[in-house]
């Protein structure tokens, strides 16, 4: 079995104090993992280490068969925790989504017209087609999250990492997020999602990693997880039922 993520003896330091303690785990290609734990347990710190944002680390990290020093960012999507667009440089939704063709290491050589067409297609998928030329500074939290999703999908991603994507967004935006994740999973994309309440995405989650003070306190199937940061596995969240009823297609995005 191939693995999209392999972490071996990872330690992450803040000043000289370890905040992540000797973690080792692997995530199989095509699986959906929930990363959970109480506030301060190290979830966001771990994500930043995986993405190469936090360089104060020891140990080995491999993503999509590449070491942390040469990650294939053009195949990795990242959706951070929701932040307000107020005060940012004015930009339209279309401009923000088109910026998803940029990577940390280089600019893609792309045809401007085809890039605009793909951005418009994705904004239509997240039901913001009528707002593509509006400034994102006026958007709600749910709308901004949908713009972030569309931006991440501008690349041909094989790995999607999300940090608390459900926080502060409305039910309709949760519905759209669920549908997109469901389609990506069907297409073989590996998904790692930081969550407190896993119930809204219960039907997608294969396994759970729970952190406690920088160490792994649980790593196993979602069906076996009994931690306090989730609710009932067996009775899907009301939103999930509505989501599955309205699920659109997302063809031609991942591959």
The model carries a pTM of 0.84
Torsional sign, CA 230, 47, 192, 217: negative
What pLDDT is stored for residue 99 in this prediction? 87
In a domain, 250, yes or no: no
Residue 13 φ then ψ, to 5°: -115, 140
Q: Indicate which CATH number applies to the domain containing 182.
A: 3.40.50.300
What pLDDT is stored for residue 232 in this prediction? 41
In a domain, 12, yes or no: yes
Q: Please give the radius of gyration of the chain, using alpha carbons only, rounded to the nearest integer.
A: 18
- Mean pLDDT per segment of 10 residues, for the chain of length 255 residues? 95 89 96 95 93 89 94 91 63 91 52 77 96 92 92 94 91 94 97 94 97 96 82 38 35 37
In a domain, 101, yes or no: yes
In a domain, 254, yes or no: no
Range of the domain at 120: 3-245
Q: Is there a contact between 205 and 27 (Cβ–Cβ < 8 Å)?
A: no
What is the count of structural domains for the chain?
1
Percent of the chain with pLDDT over 90: 64
Question: What are the tens digits of pLDDT across the range 47-58?
Answer: 999 998 887 899
DSSP assignment string, 14-34:
ETTEEEEEEEEEEEETT-EEE
H or E segment at 8? strand 3-14
What pLDDT is stored for residue 168 in this prediction? 83
In angstroms, how far is the first alpha carbon of the chain from the final one? 21
Q: How far apart are CA 124 and CA 47, in angstroms?
A: 29
């Amino acid at each position: 079995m191939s693995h999209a993520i392999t972490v071996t003896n990872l330690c992450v330091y803040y000043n000289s104090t370890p905040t992540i303690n000797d973690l080792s785990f692997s995530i199989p290609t095509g699986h959906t993992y929930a990363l959970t734990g109480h506030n301060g347990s190290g979830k966001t710190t771990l994500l930043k280490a995986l993405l190469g944002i936090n360089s104060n680390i020891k140990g080995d990290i491999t993503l999509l068969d590449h070491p942390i020093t040469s990650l294939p960012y053009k195949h990795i999507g990242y959706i951070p925790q929701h932040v307000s667009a107020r005060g940012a440089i004015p930009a339209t939704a279309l401009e923000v989504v088109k910026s998803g063709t940029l990577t940390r290491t280089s600019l893609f050589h792309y045809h401007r017209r085809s890039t605009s067409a793909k951005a418009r297609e994705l904004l239509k998928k997240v039901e913001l087609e009528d707002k593509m030329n509006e400034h994102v500074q006026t958007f709600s939290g749910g709308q901004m999250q949908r713009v972030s999703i569309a931006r991440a999908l501008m690349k041909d991603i094989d790995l999607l990492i999300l940090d608390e994507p459900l926080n502060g967004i409305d039910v309709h935006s949760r519905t759209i997020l669920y549908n997109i994740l469901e389609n990506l999973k069907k297409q073989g994309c590996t998904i790692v999602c930081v969550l407190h309440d896993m119930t809204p995405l219960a039907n997608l989650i294969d396994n759970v990693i729970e952190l406690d003070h920088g160490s792994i306190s649980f790593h196993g199937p979602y069906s076996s997880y009994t931690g306090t940061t989730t609710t009932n596995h067996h009775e899907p969240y009301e939103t999930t039922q509505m989501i599955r009823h309205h699920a659109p297609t997302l063809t031609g995005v991942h591959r």
